[in-house]
A and B are shown apart, each in its own frame.
Chain A
Amino acid sequence: MSGERIAVLAGGRSPEREVSLRSGHRVMTALVSRGYDAFVIDPAESALVATLSTATVSACYVALHGKEGEDGTVQRLLELLGLRYTGTRPLACEMTFDKVLAKESLDAAQVPTPSWAVIEAPALRDLGAGAILHRLAERVGLPAVVKPSRAGSAMGLTFVEAEADLPHAVMSALSFADSAVVERRIDGVEIAASMVGAPDDLLPLVEVSPKSGVYDYAARYTAGATEYHAPARLTPEITDRCNSVAAQVFRTLGLRDVSRADMIVDEQGRPWVIDVNVSPGMTDTSLLPMAAHAAGIDFPDLCERILGLALTRRSSSRWEPD
């Protein structure tokens, strides 16, 4: 495998640009250390299609986060170019990145996810949806979490205790996306479940305890702001329950190669799925690499393993069954 030319896609124009660059450069360095001829392409700095058309690469490692990188846009381009790439295929990306579609799918498959309601900017602007804002609170219950339907890294997310705070929270979320998800807030232990390979190939669970109590952007990306335990400090029974929910999530959404599901385990030991990522962070404070570490897989091994999944596919052609 060594010496193969690998394009690591990172950066881009989403609000998670910085995080993605950190992930991408780390992946590149790891792959280079394993003898790959890996280099980073930042779609915001160079024309992606032109670069990939001329560079002969064996595969692309997708380390983009957020819009365009996780919503299927880049994946569609890569399929059109006939290139092999790591991670999930376009439609499943689209379904997963959009929290509304993801929650609908999970709910239909009876995966536990907190009750929710959606409010869309066009409905507010053109259809007078503001008049029934209180219904959102009634339907979902308070306290609630308001988040943009399409964004990552907890950006644009607000905790709402009182109905009066709802308009401001909705406006904040709508700065990032055209619709906002109002979700019942579940109190409990935050857990991340990671998959590398098939939906049943799970890494140890990671438990997240932010010192501020809230796992927001600062808690995610400031070293030391959050304590992590891997494996999570859960009973074997609850661990099994989380793993089986996670596998169900990955299967239901049709995820491939690598993914992370974030859950809250409530006081009764029930896991609730709150977010799913098709391109999980690979930074030094990211959860999936911690999970791998707990399984005895070091970072270069992890990257090589994920890349290997793409390299063993014959091509990304849409006509080829996976």
Chain B
Amino acid sequence: MLELSILFPSVLNGLTSGAVYALIALGLTLIYGVLHIINFAHGALLMIALYGVYFLNQKLGLDPYASLPVMVPAMFVLGYGLQRFVIGRASHGKDENIILVTLGLAIVIENLALYLWRSDTRTIETAYTFATVNILGAMISVPKVAAFAGALVVGAILLLLLAKTDLGRAIRAIAKERHGAKLVGIDVEHVFAMSFGIGLACLGAAACFLLPAYYVSPQVGNGFILIAFTIVVLGGMGSFAGALAGGFIIGVVESVGGLWLGESLGQIGIFLIFITVLLFRPQGLFGARA
């Protein structure tokens, strides 16, 4: 049996990774909730955001956390444009077309990065990269604690935005009843693009919190995309509370699973959860029946 002294830090570590996963999944679940499509380009777009943070740091000497006010709007604009001018146009009213287009975008973005920046793994050095704090005897790295807090803040902002603003009301209206929303005068195409933009803005924030303790390479998104899918499916497609809870669950499963089965096989736990949930409870823990 595992010692509590090993298990406890492992669970804490899982919770902090889970917070960043949750942030990535929040964007994915927002896009799904509104557009009813799965954005297969989500991982590739996260990779783009990570490169953004990396280059801001290398070329301008910007601290990853100071990049937040740059990366979040930049990713928002990218998302708005992508949905408005590329993805939206390709749909022809069929969801199957959209998933193919997002898959195509993922391939293009990932290989463009490979072409431009080669497959080198890049990291940044900050004063706090290797700093740790002591939480009840467990040593947790400072960037991970910051990511944990940041994810909670972003999640809270997103929930407020959806609950209190006109845009939030329009998004919820479209998620529930697309045609009805159109009939009462909501500009559906605009709200679609706004949702996609906000979904990508979450990735911008996630990238800023992730990079101090992580790395970037053209393939880095692949590692996250199935994890984010798993979280969204586990929490229930379109559910924010589900995405947050799912993120923490998956983070802990990965961390404890890795401890128990080793790094490579630990990932299996995530996919087994993914497949099990998809098969037996596709609506997820918090979601309505899809």
**Does B bind A?**
no
- A residues with a Cβ closer than 8 A to B are none
B interface residues (Cβ-Cβ under 8 A, vs A): none
